[in-house]
Amino acid sequence: MDFTAINNSIPAPDAAAAKLCRAKWDAVAKPLGSLGLLEDAVAQIAALRGDPDVRLRRRAALVLCADNGIVAEGVTQTDASVTMAVARNLTKKQTSVCIMARAANCEVFPVDMGMLTEPDFDGMLSYRLGGGTANFTRGAAMTRETAERGVAYGIELAGDMRSRGFDILATGEMGIGNTTTSSAVCSVLLDVPPETVTGRGSGLSDEGLARKIAAVKRGIATNRPNLGDTVGALAAVGGFDLAGMAGIFIGGARCGVPVLVDGFISAVAALIAVRLCPRARSAVMASHVSAEPAGSLVLDALGLKPLITAGMRLGEGTGAVAALPLLDLALAVYCGGSSFEDIGVEAYTPI
């Protein structure tokens, strides 16, 4: 893929729309900038869309499901069968993110990016890359071509969601072993030791955490990914879900749709996206900071500030969906708040 061409196809943020948005915020009868990151978020969306009239009528949570060969190294609390079980439950709208999404007026779309076996039930979008990745301690997780195809699928998926009328996308994932793949990619792209970025995932013991760190180290030593080769790092030690989510961030930027980062895993995907296409940063919005050790580290690398700090680490897109009501509250003030003129008070000015 020609990522330079793709990057060049992403429109620059509309500075005029952002300025009009800021002016509208400043006209609302409240102290200047007093809604903080919520004002910033609305201005970012205005710049991305090229329109200060920001509305988020339809929302979609995209939950990318994939299996990871690294599970064979004993780095997880459960086996890979749980990926399929949760995917099935996603189609029944019974998982945590589905329940939260109903409250947040958001539709959930589970996506098969490459579970071990194809689902024998309806209700999943298929952007399948294969039957899970390989064990990266023994060689590359996937081929370079597969990694690029996964990114392309994500770009396509974001474009499809936009054509269906969705105004904002929330990223999510489901795949046993994907905190291990994310830790490995993070270690490479940020050039930090695996110990710094590898956490307990769904609840590993000290012994399990030691196995997980050792597996990440072996994978990096075996494949020797180069921090200057983002696709190579993704192919060497990444996952299908990371590839797809990276594409969603790029695709969102191309078609003017903001994309919410969930936790650590999708933050790593956003990092991949921005390394491949720097202009994709315009669409990336942080929902919360994950309790995983590298959660804040990756957000800092992206220059993102989270709306929520709640110690969350569930996954599925729950953190991203949790940010939607906050954006609704911000837009309620932005669109319906009284102005200084309305209440007969002189507008605040910076002093």
Residue 316 is a catalytic residue = yes
Task: Compute the half-sphere exposure of residue 41: CA atoms within 13 Å on the CB side of its CA.
Answer: 29
Looking only at the bridges linking them, the beta strands covering 284-286 and 168-174 are unpaired
The neighbour count for residue 314, using CB atoms within 10 Å, is 18
Cα 131 from Cα 246, distance rounded (Å): 20
CA distances from 277 to 190, 191, 248, 251, 320 (A): 17, 19, 12, 10, 22
Write out the two tokens for 264: 């650590």
List the catalytic residue out of 107, 195, 316, 341. Answer: 316
CA distances from 284 to 36, 45, 70, 98, 316 (A): 18, 10, 28, 22, 18
Write out the two tokens for 338: 């009284």
Cα 242 from Cα 261, distance rounded (Å): 12
3-state class of 168 per DSSP?
Answer: strand
**Using alpha carbons only, what angle is made at residue 129 by residues 127 and 133, rounded to the nearest 5 degrees?**
135
Write out the two tokens for 108: 């959930």
Cα 239 from Cα 114, distance rounded (Å): 9
Enumerate the β-bridge partners of residue 85. Answer: none
Q: Which of 315, 337, 308, 323 has its CA nearest to residue 110?
A: 315
Residue with tokens 């959930």: 108
3-state class of 200 per DSSP?
Answer: coil
Give the torsion through C-alpha atoms of 39, 104, 178, 77, to 10 deg. 130
Write out the two tokens for 241: 């879900």
Cα 190 from Cα 196, distance rounded (Å): 11
Cα 340 from Cα 30, distance rounded (Å): 8
Catalytic residue list? 316
